[in-house]
Amino acid sequence: MAKVRIRKVYGKEKPHVICDTNVWYSIASSNFSKPDDVLLIPTAFSLEELATSTMMAKHPNFYQTVVKSIYNNCGPIIPENPFDFVLMHHDPKYITNEEPTRQLLNGFSALMERKIDVKDIDEDLRNKIIEDCESSRKPSNDFAALGNDELLAIRKSINTGVGKKEHLKQDPTLINREFVKFMFDTYASNKKYTIDWDKFDWSRIELFMIVTEIFFKKLETTKGMKIDSNDIVDWFNLLYVTPEDQYLTFENKWRKYIGDDQRIKHYLYC
């Protein structure tokens, strides 16, 4: 079985491009080739998304090809979840846990060694895999549902208050920071860790914060627009992108959010 290694990099041999999950699908489909001038970086969060994809039951051979495309084309893997990744750079003494990613990679390695025959996956097994995948994504589904409920109240408040045009002119930086603080504090409290926000460097998550501003304003002022569970993964994946990195996604919505804003367009790779 292929040996799993989590390679840590101190000093970058090439620029890092943090990748959305769809990058690996594009490589597997021969729609994109690994560039020579940068390293394509998988994240623990995007790998978890792949590990809970129903594609493993519906299209197992292609799923195996996608996994192989990661091993054959990636640079070092970021093994921490996005919250731990931000906190470990905020505080060098913060303790993270790489074991979930290590186990996930062991599973991928075992998968690559197998010869998969679709006929070996009977209907019961296929349904069980799909059920397990959908269950694993329940937190994202619940988060999206909660956000969509909140959106209705926000839109009503905007329409009966300042109106869309004035709302779009407002600077939501402080409100969004408080929201991010709440999410991180909730996560950190479960680990009995207290974040010193007075020393937090917001510039380290600049891309995430500005895309949050754009994304939220779009949601708040677009009738009928909803948060999809996949949005949660794509949104949080941006927490991995530091000012020294670039980001690659082939999702038109996120490319537009980044590429159309002068403040952050430089983060978008190709």
Banded model confidence at residue 117, pLDDT cuts 50, 70, 90: low
Q: Which residues, in sequence order, are CB contacts of 61 under 8 Å at separation 6+?
A: 116, 118
How do strand 246-248 and strand 39-41 relate by DSSP bridges? unpaired
pLDDT at 138 over 50: yes
**Residue 132 pLDDT greater than 70, yes or no:** no
Tell me the percentage of the chain whose pLDDT exceeds 90. Answer: 51
According to DSSP, the residues that pair with 39 across neighbouring strands are 16
pLDDT higher than threshold 80 for residue 151: no
pLDDT digits (tens, 9 = 90+) for 82-99: 999 999 999 999 999 888
Contacts for 50 with CB less than 8 Å, ≥ 6 apart: 21, 24, 66, 67, 70
- Determine the pLDDT at residue 149: 74
Residue 118's pLDDT is 59
What is the overall mean pLDDT for the chain?
84
Question: Residue 255: pLDDT above 60?
Answer: yes
Average pLDDT over residues 241-251: 97
More confident residue, 170 or 186: 186
Q: What is the pLDDT of residue 9?
A: 45
Q: Taking residues 237-249, report their average pLDDT.
A: 97
Q: What is the pLDDT of residue 68?
A: 92
The answer to whether residue 31 scores a pLDDT higher than 90 is yes
pLDDT-based confidence at 191, cuts 50/70/90? Answer: very high
Higher pLDDT, 60 or 25: 25
Q: For 182-197, what is the mean pLDDT? A: 94
- Residue pair 77/101 in contact (Cβ under 8 Å)? The answer is yes
The strand pairing partners of 17, in sequence order, are 40, 246
Which residues lie closer than 8 Å to 88 by C-beta, 6 or more apart? 80, 94, 96
> So where are the chain's domains?
16-267
Of 41-50, 96-105, 129-138, 179-188, where does mean pLDDT reach its minimum? 129-138
Exposure string over 68-78, b if 16+ CB within 10 A, otherwise e: bbbeebbbbbb
User: Which among 42-51, 92-101, 228-237, 251-260 has the top mean pLDDT?
Assistant: 251-260
pLDDT-derived band at 58, boundaries 50, 70, 90: confident
